[in-house]
Amino acid sequence: MANPFGPDGWTPERIGDLSAKTYLITGANSGIGWQASRVLAQKGARLLWVCRNQTKADDAAARLRSETPQVRLTVLIADLADLDTVRAAADQVADHTDRLHAVINNAGIMMVPERELTAQGFELQLGVNHLAHFALDAWLYPLLHAADGRIVAVSSGAHKPGTFDFDDLMWSRGYGAVKAYCRSKLANLLFVLEANRRLEAAGSTVRAYATHPGYSDTNLQTTGPSSLWGAAMSVTNRLVAQSAERGGWPLVLAATDVEARPGAYYGPTGWFESRGPVGECVMAARATDAAVAQRLWEASEQLTGASFAV
């Protein structure tokens, strides 16, 4: 696929002044979320962070403020493994802004060794990586609508082997750390597909975009998986991973660029889409299955109790 941004791919130099815009990012205190925040802050954007750990978020905010003193940044606390705290944070957002130009669904966990459940009884990886963001986006939809805003889902190349069994969404049988992670990343793309279908049909100006960071050097690979997987990934991170800074670029592209296509999948395009110039990537065919996407949406509404007011 030819890169629509040229052979060198998309870079932050394409961004203009963002001082009139507001972006919400989950899990922004580290990794690609923090790096995306840096780029947005340097362009003048106002930032809202939704993070789980107050101390870590405050430390990360202090680092960003020391680097970009003019940044306008508000930290809200929520645990994506508990929808009650997500709802509380969503309600607080309206106290700080009357519109959102994008919600970047960045926070995630990876390859949890043993099956764990969220506060609402969801398998942890599907609950955090998909269901919590589904609910958050639904609850924040009025603010997105006010700005003709964007939903940015952060998926992964791991979506490609992902599968769905709607008779056992929560892996009560046959749980596997990798299988569950792949399902959650496939869910991110199916969500984008169905969100755009429904938003367009309703005449909404809000649109959804898909991204992936490639193989970027972050703590995601070492804090979620088992100690054996984590040790292996810490080595491959040093040998083959690109920087977290470059891993954050696709998120910013999808949130800001006027040429970004709703429903497109942006990320590194080189070496098995793990690194290299940022551009449009190819989803697995199963990520474009409209019937599965619709069924997942309906299940997500039933499970979370959240729905988009379109």
Residues serving a catalytic function are 181
Task: Enter the tokens of residue 54.
Answer: 């107050």
Q: Which parts of 128-226 fold into alpha helices (H)?
A: 132-146, 177-201, 220-223
Q: How many CA atoms lie within 13 A of 214 on its CB side?
A: 30
- Burial class of residue 43 (count of CB atoms within 10 Å of its CB; 0-12, 13-18, 19+): middle
Of the candidates 300, 44, 31, 251, the residue with the CA atom closest to the CA atom of residue 153: 251
Q: 159 by DSSP, 3-state: which? A: helix
Strand partners for 275: 270
- C-alpha to C-alpha distance for 188 and 207, rounded to whole angstroms: 14
Amino acid letter, 121: G
Residue in the block written with tokens 């497109």: 264
- C-alpha to C-alpha distance for 125 and 129, rounded to whole angstroms: 6
Which H helix or E strand runs over 127?
none
- Chain center to CA of 6: 25
DSSP readout, 79-101? Answer: -TT-HHHHHHHHHHHTTT-S--S
Strand partners for 122: none
